Structure formats: C-alpha cells, structure tokens
Structure 1
C-alpha cells in the first residue's frame, strides 16, 4: 500500500519533468531555425550590457580616486572594478532574462523589459558605484590619502562624497537601463517570432525509409 501511494505521489512530478524536457527540446529545435543574427543577439547581447557595466566601474573608480586623492594601486583597483561588474551583470542578465525567455518561462513582454531595465540599471550601473565606494574607502584608509571621520560621522561622510559621483554617473546608469530595456524587448520579440516559425520537414532519410 505504501509503495502504491509513493508511486501516485511521484507520478505527477515525473510527468511534469517529462513535459519540461519535451518543451525544452521543442524550443531548441525552434531556436535552431532562427537566423544567425537572432541567435547571436541571445548569445552575445548580454555582454554588451556587461561591458558597459565594466566601463561604469572604471569611471566610478576614477571619480572616487580623484575625490579621495588616491594615487597608489591604480592597476590593482582598476582590475576588479572592470572585471567583477562585467561578470556579475552578464551572469544575472542571463539568469534573469535570457534563460527564462528561451525556456518559455518569461512570456510577458512587460515583465521581460522591466527585468532587463532593472538588471541594466542596478547591476550594470549602481553596483559598480557601490563597489567603487568599498574599494576606494579601503585604499584611502590604507594609504591615508584623505582624512576619514570617525564611525559616528562615517555614513554622512560617504553620502557627501558619493553625491557628486552619482550625479555624474546618472547618464551611464540611464544608458544602461535603456540598452537593457531594448535588448530584453528585442529578445522577447525574437522568441515570439520563433514560436510562429513553421515546423521543419522530416529528415529525407526518414522519408526514404
């Protein structure tokens, strides 16, 4: 009796898993019918936002270095400020937008564009600035390049230091959001076009058999 109940509980889960596998195979066949330009947009499009995120990191790093009079560790601070935003933005965009669209789990156009815009603005724009604060704050403390206040005034100090940087970085942040919005809308449109593609004909060898 216990075994029958177990099989009854497992059957719906197994059926759902098989449906997901069949759906992925179907979508993969449809994806292969797309023109190469559309395929490249899915494969390489997120890296455009990722590169912009790395550039935002370098710009923000430069601003904070000037404000805090940091002259040491130029390369040491620049490498993570370019590399980490690039990796993070690319990975999150793939996980939040590209993969859900291709798997058929993100079929709402508005949802796709909102996810894309948030990923571009937050991960590709704001995250590099916040990271630059942490990196340059540590460098300023290590090299004593600028007098830092005590713990009671530390938050007020960083708000004051960061305000001009955020104002200067507003355009790159908006550009990131606009680029990611366009990319996510384009990917969603390509996916919907993909679903309307006719079924491919059977293999000629199979017809011969």
Structure 2
C-alpha cells in the first residue's frame, strides 16, 4: 500500500477518497472471507477475494465521487489498485482463515484506520507545501514548494514519518522499561525493610 501514499497522496480530498475506498473494499471482503474460508480450496481464495473486492469497488465509487467531481482523474489507477491491496492477500489468509468474524472485522478496521492516518498526514503536508491549501481552502503561507507534489516528496515524507514513529516507539519503550525498573527497585527496598524489621 506504499504506492498510493507516495504517488496519489497530493491532497486531503484524495487521501480521504482512498481511505474510504480501502475501508469499503477491505473490511467487507475480509468479513466474507472469514465465512467462506473452508468452503473453497486454498489456491482459489485469493482470486475470490479479488473478485469480491472488485464488486465492492463499484459502490465505493458512488460513495467517494461527491468528495470531488474530478476525484477519479486525480487518483488515476490508484483507485482501482485498492482491489489488490496487501491486506486482502496477506491478512486475508493469515487472519480471516484463523480468527473469528469479529476479530477479522476489527483487524481490517485497524489496518484501514492506520492507512487513513498515514495518508492524511502525508497528503496534508504535501497540499500545504505545493498549493498552500487544505481541503481546497487557502492557507496563508509565505512560500510554496511545487516539488512537494512529485513522488519523491511522498517518499521523503514516508521516510520522515517512519523515522519519527520509530523514535517515539523506542522512547516510549525506554520510559516503560525505566518505570518498571523503578517499581522493581522500590518493591525490593520495601521487602528489604520488612526483612530487617
């Protein structure tokens, strides 16, 4: 799912459209997959998932089109690529086949929310930099960076946000570890005081 984030995330409207499309295509497909997992052979599952997702793409087009009349032109092939997203192929086999129906829906929803957060952040920054707008509304900035609309800017932002997330994850892990060590030391000190009494 890196290609839509890097290439097509040039405006918040496009990001919302791609996020809604992904949710409409992915969550019901995974839910249906959890029911038909034993009814069809393993070699046929992925083509069936793709077929179900393709059928769901039609109503998603109707739901997404009010966002902008030119939304399909701006998204290009990335709208159709939502059918062949990695969730359907990897998570569909790993989760939908082994977990309950509710767990499958929750997993699909969490994946779609994560995708939406990532693409919305990146597209908001890109739209601000190259057009000085958010959702098409002007935002007064003293500069414009026209190169922010190019794919390399998407790669740079994905890398930057990944680095920030890695730093925050490691920082939180160290804080939790430090807190556990302090709690352990204070518990040992209390035990030591009880023994000396």
User: TM-score normalized by structure 2?
Assistant: 0.31
Structure with higher Rg: it is 1
TM-score, structure 1 length as denominator?
0.30
